[in-house]
């Protein structure tokens, strides 16, 4: 193929994607950056070039606390989803023997991803509520006398929902990487006298790193950008950066929301840039 026409054809075929991303990703980001320097009255926003929004943001204790809470949610959720996701993927890839069974069980793990997050959150209420299944069961077993108050509308329920919603973002890429590990490597390890645990730690774990990285990127960014899970599962009693933004939006304080959004975006991109140093995504698919 001619060199020129290759590039022209490439761009023509990629044009629809490029147009969508330009109009609904790049332009909105630029718009948010611009508006973050604007001013706002109680009812409207007006063009300006002022740093008030950022000054207010960085001058407020709340900001640091909320960013801290966001990172805390991200870290705890990451650790739990990694632990659970790795174990599940390891079981599927190395302990289930027939391919049909592997695919079937893998689908069982992924199907909830194609259903509604909102409903999946709502469905915890009868379980965790004051008179919910968890409390009723624990009381009937005699473990506790009074219903536990911290099951619902707490950090606990927020993180539980995150783990519930996002563990499959770990399972899928880790399973995908594990399935591509050459089984003869495992045999070689065993022939050389490695125990199951040693094979896991010294052979499987290093080879699974790319999958772990991709899962990590998904989980960390989803949790950091979330605003609805925290609001719903904490009964509006906890805050993260996403809620800070959505509260400003509800009050029509768009410039202030935009400034917070810019800082959040920078934080997320820095985290990803660090993670991407460890993996080449395109090669791993």
Partner 1 sequence: MERRSRSFYGLAVFFALFVLFLYGPILTIGILSFQGPQGGLTFPMNGVSLHWFHDLFQEQAVGDIWGAFRRSFGLGLIVMVTTVVVSVMAGLAFRKRFYGSGLLFYAAITSLVIPSILISLGVGLIFNQLGFKIHWATSGFGSQLTWTLPFGLLIMFAVFNRFDKSYEEAARDQGATAWQTLRHVVLPIIAPSLIGVALFGFTLSYDEFARTLLTAGSYNTLPLEIFGMTTNVTTPVIYALGTLTTVFSFVIIAVFLLVAWMIGKRRARMGSDAGKGV
| 3-class state of residue 212 by DSSP | helix
Say whether residue 111 binds partner 1 (CB under 8 A).
yes
Q: Which is nearer to partner 1, 155 or 246 (CB)?
A: 246
Structure tokens at 117: 């997050």
Note whether 268 binds partner 1 by CB under 8 A.
Answer: yes
> Segment 118-177, which members bind partner 1 (CB under 8 A)?
118-120, 122-127, 129, 131-133, 136, 164, 167
Residue 261 in tokens:
């959004």
Decide if residue 210 touches partner 1 (CB under 8 A).
no
Q: Is 99 in the site for partner 1 (CB under 8 A)?
A: no
**Which one, of 281, 175, 285, 268, lies nearest residue 222 by Cα?**
268
Q: Please list every residue from 19 through 78 that binds partner 1, using CB under 8 A.
A: 20-21, 23-29, 31-32, 35
Question: Whose Cβ is closer to partner 1: residue 207's or residue 275's?
Answer: 275
Restricting to residues 222-251, which ones interact with partner 1 according to CB under 8 A?
224-228, 232, 242, 245-246, 249
88 binds partner 1 (CB under 8 A): yes
Query: How far apart (Å, rounded) are the C-alpha atoms in residues 43 and 182?
Result: 62
As measured in angstroms, the least distance from the Cβ of 159 to partner 1 is: 13
Segment near partner 1 (CB under 8 A), from 53-61, 74-82, 185-193, 256-264? 256-264
Determine, following the binding rule CB under 8 A, whether residue 109 of this chain makes contact with partner 1: yes
Continuous H helices in 116-204: 117-122, 125-128, 133-140, 155-179, 183-191, 196-199
Among 63, 102, 117, 247, contact with partner 1 (rule: CB under 8 A):
117
State the nearest-atom distance from the C-beta of 55 to partner 1, in Å: 20
């Amino acid at each position: 193929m001619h060199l020129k026409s290759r590039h022209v054809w490439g761009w023509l075929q990629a044009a629809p994607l490029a147009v969508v991303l330009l109009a609904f990703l790049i332009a909105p980001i630029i718009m948010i950056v611009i508006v973050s320097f604007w001013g706002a009255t109680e009812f409207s926003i007006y063009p300006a070039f002022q740093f008030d929004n950022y000054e207010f943001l960085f001058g407020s204790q709340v900001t640091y606390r909320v960013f801290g809470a966001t990172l805390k949610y991200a870290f705890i959720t990451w650790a739990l989803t990694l632990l659970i996701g790795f174990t599940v993927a390891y079981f599927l890839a190395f302990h289930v023997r027939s391919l049909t069974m592997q695919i079937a069980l893998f689908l069982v793990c992924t199907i909830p991803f194609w259903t509604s997050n909102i409903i999946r959150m709502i469905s915890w209420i009868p379980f965790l509520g004051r008179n919910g299944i968890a409390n009723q069961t624990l009381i009937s077993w005699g473990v506790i006398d009074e219903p536990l108050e911290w099951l619902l509308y707490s950090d606990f329920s927020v993180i539980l929902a995150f783990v519930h919603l996002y563990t499959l973002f770990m399972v899928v890429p880790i399973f995908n990487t594990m399935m591509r590990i050459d089984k003869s490597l495992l045999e070689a390890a065993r022939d050389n006298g490695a125990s199951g645990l040693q094979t896991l730690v010294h052979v499987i774990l290093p080879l699974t790193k790319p999958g772990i990285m991709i899962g990590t990127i998904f989980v960390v960014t989803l949790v950091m950008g979330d605003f609805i899970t925290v609001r719903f599962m904490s009964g509006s009693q906890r805050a993260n950066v996403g809620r800070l933004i959505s509260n400003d939006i509800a009050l029509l304080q768009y410039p202030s929301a935009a400034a917070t959004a810019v800082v959040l975006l920078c934080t997320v991109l820095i985290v990803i840039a660090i993670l991407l140093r460890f993996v080449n995504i395109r090669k791993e698919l």
